[in-house]
Amino acid sequence: MTLALPRSDPDQSPLCIRGLTVSYGEQPVVFSVDMTVQDGAMTAIIGPNGAGKSTLLKAALNIVRPLSGRITVYGQPLAEQAQRIAYVPQRASVDWDFPTEVLDVVLMGLYRDLGLLGRVRGHHIRHAKDCLDRVGMEDFAARQIGQLSGGQQQRVFLARALAQRADLYLLDEPFAGVDAATERAIIDVLKSLRAEGKTVVAVHHDLSTVRAYFDNVFLINRRKMGEGPISTAFTPETVQATYGGRLADGQITQLTQDA
């Protein structure tokens, strides 16, 4: 297995992880992982269930505390650059019966601008509505979030991340359980972010769309199983190594070759 070296310089990479180990109790979920995200590209984190994909993302954001490891963001420690990162959590991670409306959720993305007591002004609302517009949800601003479909919930989370005007977007399974129209809407937004020079990293579960959606892959199954551009790193061998016996051989070949 040959790994293509990431093209970007680790010192300036939007997200550079070295020696990251995360464990719940004494069971490591992510073990000694190095990752270097390429600037201005879209990277998919793939691996079987329970392989530590989401945990890797959460540790990179310091939502779960790693046991060891060093994380730099654009060459600086995470704490100094946290405002350049926007996070889109898994849809299922929150209670959708919470009393709040769509626009309020998007305005949460402006917390760093607003602070504790800053007043929500007209330009904040306009910005939040623009973000909703980008994900095709402008008509839903005043809806109670519990009335949304799964795909619409995911779009609201994406709009909240857009509101942050970040440079690096980290998404946890953005396409899980969403309808086809939403999947298209989300990928369009992500590609437009890339066109603006932003960097996108997404945990992804659907191997059949990796090739169409992403530039790079990062394969993980507790340990790093491969990293690099699709053409060199997303091969039957690497996918077989990552997923073990969970996928049939023919299936893997079909998924990883150009259609």
Partner 1 sequence: MLIDALFLQIGYNATLVTLGSATLGLAAGATGTFLFLRKRALVADAVSHATLPGLALAFMLMVAMGGDGRNLAGLMAGSALSAWAGLLCLSWLTRHTRLAEDAAIGAVLSVFFGFGIVLLTVVQTLSAGRQAGLESFLLGSTAGMLFSDALLIAAGGLCVLACALALRRPLLLVAFDPGYAQTQGINVQRMDLAIMTLVMAITVVGLKVVGLILIVALLIIPAATARFWSNRADRVVLLAGLFGGLSGYIGAAVSATAPGLPTGPIIVLVGFGFFVGSLLLSPGRGVLSSALRHRAYQRQVHLRQGLLALARQQPVYEAMTRRLLRRAGLVRADGVPTPEGHSRAAAALRDETRWQALRSSMHLSELSTRDDGLTLILDVLTQDQIAELDRRINASPRVV
Q: Which residues contact 35 (CB under 8 A, 6 or more apart)?
A: 15, 16, 17, 20, 56, 218, 224, 227
CB 4, min distance to partner 1, A: 30
Q: Which residue's CB is nearer to partner 1, number 113 or number 215?
A: 113
Q: Count Cα neighbours of 136 within 13 Å in the Cβ-side half-sphere.
A: 14
Q: Is 58 in the site for partner 1 (CB under 8 A)?
A: yes
Q: Is 94 in the site for partner 1 (CB under 8 A)?
A: yes
Q: Is 114 in the site for partner 1 (CB under 8 A)?
A: yes
Name residue 24's beta-bridge partners. Answer: 27
Q: Is 71 in the site for partner 1 (CB under 8 A)?
A: no
Q: Is 82 in the site for partner 1 (CB under 8 A)?
A: yes
Site residues (CB under 8 A) for partner 1, limited to 168-207: 179-181
CB 119, min distance to partner 1, A: 11
Q: Which residue's CB is nearer to partner 1, number 149 or number 257?
A: 149
Return the residue of 61, 168, 189, 210 that touches partner 1, per CB under 8 A.
61
Q: Is the dihedral of CA 113, 117, 118, 122 positive or negative?
A: positive
Beta strands in the chain (DSSP E): 16-24, 27-36, 42-46, 68-73, 76-77, 85-88, 168-172, 199-203, 216-221, 223-229
CB 201 within 8 A of CB 177: no
Could you tell me the maximum CA-CA distance found in the chain, to the nearest angstrom?
Answer: 58
Q: Is 100 in the site for partner 1 (CB under 8 A)?
A: yes
Q: Which residue's CB is nearer to partner 1, number 3 or number 94?
A: 94
Q: Is 162 in the site for partner 1 (CB under 8 A)?
A: no
Q: Is 24 in the site for partner 1 (CB under 8 A)?
A: no
Gyration radius of the chain's alpha carbons: 18
Q: Is 21 in the site for partner 1 (CB under 8 A)?
A: no
Return the residue of 13, 16, 30, 87 that touches partner 1, per CB under 8 A.
87
Q: Are strands 168-172 and 223-229 parallel, antiparallel or unpaired?
A: unpaired
Q: And the tokens for 90? A: 């898994």
Which positions lie near partner 1, rule CB under 8 A?
Answer: 25, 58, 61-63, 82-83, 85-87, 89, 93-95, 98-101, 104-105, 108, 111-112, 114-117, 144, 146, 149, 160, 179-181
